[in-house]
Amino acid sequence: MIRKGPRTVVVTGASAGVGRASARLFGARGDAVALLARGEKGLEAAAEEVRVAGGRALPVPVDVADARQVEEAARRVEDELGPIDVWVNVAFSTVFAPVSQITPAEFRRITEVTYLGYVYGTKAALERMLPRDRGTVVQAGSALAYRAIPLQAGYCAAKHAVKGFTESLRCELLHDGSGVRVTMVQLPALNTPQFDWVLSRLPRRPQPVPPIYQPEIAARAIVFAADHPGRKEFWVGSMTAATLLANRLAPALIDRYLARTGYRSQQTQEPQRADRPANLWEPVDGGDGRDFGAHGRFDARAHSRSPQAWLSRHRRLAAVTVATGLAGAAWLSRHA
């Protein structure tokens, strides 16, 4: 797909983490970016980053768990920025705890934000894209959409649901011969602020399961997916690819492995802080709160590059390179 000029892009969860990094990258391309999120300070700071990068920015305070708010936001975006070309769903929330320690209300809230928020965003986009027969929806997914892990049951279930929803929608669009496209980007463990603000009942501070990647790697994959929506999905990070492949081959073995290592690998050695914020019900970067930015506290441990992600974006070039190398090796072996 060849990108033709600046576009109007909506990014949910744009006040921090992957959503913020993605909004900034779209802005650097000159796009008009609508930033949807709850936190006021993070939203305004993210909008300023988009403007500095070279794009137009429209911050819109929204709780994606409210379908009416999402629809009103979409209407405002088209009124102020123009027809929506790309809609990127990123917003989520979760609880770090065993299933037995998560309340029914908390499971409902996780589902409403992390799954239904994608449904509401996608439907708001389709309402506008289908009559025009063009547009792209990008779902920020996770390796956990395929392989669930302990202590994140609500999040894993929601990501599985997003995957199923997206696959159903893709089939419907193909059936209708629609020009609207939907794709999903399966992400690895990332250095985002979620590990400082999601509700946690773990005895020690939560962390991403290593290896950890910077959110800009995810942002590059999301922007690339928006330009190449013909692909069903993109895998980002070597561990994502390894996890998904291993789960296909030996799921029961992975169950036992995660039972043995999953608790330890998701916690640091630091005890949980008593004053730790939690954003499940209310944003922690609103009012007098601080701006958390795109990065979490793991900069020293996070990778800023991913060869696998590059290869995923450049599959044809990689295939040609491998084929050329094999042909060269064969020639040398015959003429040695």
Residue 332 is predicted with a pLDDT of: 41
- DSSP letters for 91-148: ----EES-GGGS-HHHHHHHHIIIIIHHHHHHHHHHHHHHHHT-EEEEEE--GGGTS-
Task: Please determine, for residue 317, whether its predicted confidence score (pLDDT) is greater than 80.
Answer: no
| Domain that includes residue 134, residue range | 8-326
The pLDDT tens digits for 251-301 are 999 999 999 999 999 999 999 988 888 999 999 875 556 799 999 999 999
Domain count for the chain, please give it: 1
Q: Who's near 234: CB < 8 A, 6+ residues apart?
A: 183, 184, 185, 186, 221, 224, 225, 312, 313
CATH for 313: 3.40.50.720
Q: How many CA atoms lie less than 13 Å away from 40 in the CB half-sphere?
A: 4
Q: Is residue 332 part of a domain?
A: no
Q: Is residue 81 part of a domain?
A: yes
Q: Is residue 335 part of a domain?
A: no
Task: Please determine, for residue 156, whether its predicted confidence score (pLDDT) is greater than 60.
Answer: yes
Task: Please determine, for residue 153, whether its predicted confidence score (pLDDT) is greater than 80.
Answer: yes
Task: Please determine, for residue 314, whether its predicted confidence score (pLDDT) is greater than 70.
Answer: no
The pLDDT tens digits for 57-75 are 999 999 999 999 999 999 9
Distance CA 231, CA 236 (A): 14
pTM (predicted TM-score)? 0.90
Phi/psi of residue 35, nearest 5 degrees: -110, 115
Which pLDDT band, with edges at 50, 70 and 90, does 310 fall under?
Answer: low
Joined tokens for residue 203: 């005895």
Residue 3 is predicted with a pLDDT of: 60
Which pLDDT band, with edges at 50, 70 and 90, does 306 fall under?
Answer: low
Q: Is residue 193 part of a domain?
A: yes
The pLDDT tens digits for 21-50 are 999 999 999 999 999 999 889 999 999 999
Sheet with 180-186, side-by-side order of all strands: 56-61, 32-37, 8-12, 86-89, 135-140, 180-186, 233-235
The pLDDT tens digits for 187-221 are 999 999 999 999 999 999 999 999 999 999 999 99
Of 88, 148, 80, which Cα lies nearest the Cα of 124?
88
Q: Report the chain's mean pLDDT, rounded to a whole number.
A: 91
Joined tokens for residue 45: 């700071």
Residue 331 is predicted with a pLDDT of: 41
Q: Is residue 1 part of a domain?
A: no
Of 142, 165, 166, which Cα lies nearest the Cα of 154?
142
Q: Is residue 184 part of a domain?
A: yes
Q: Is residue 237 part of a domain?
A: yes
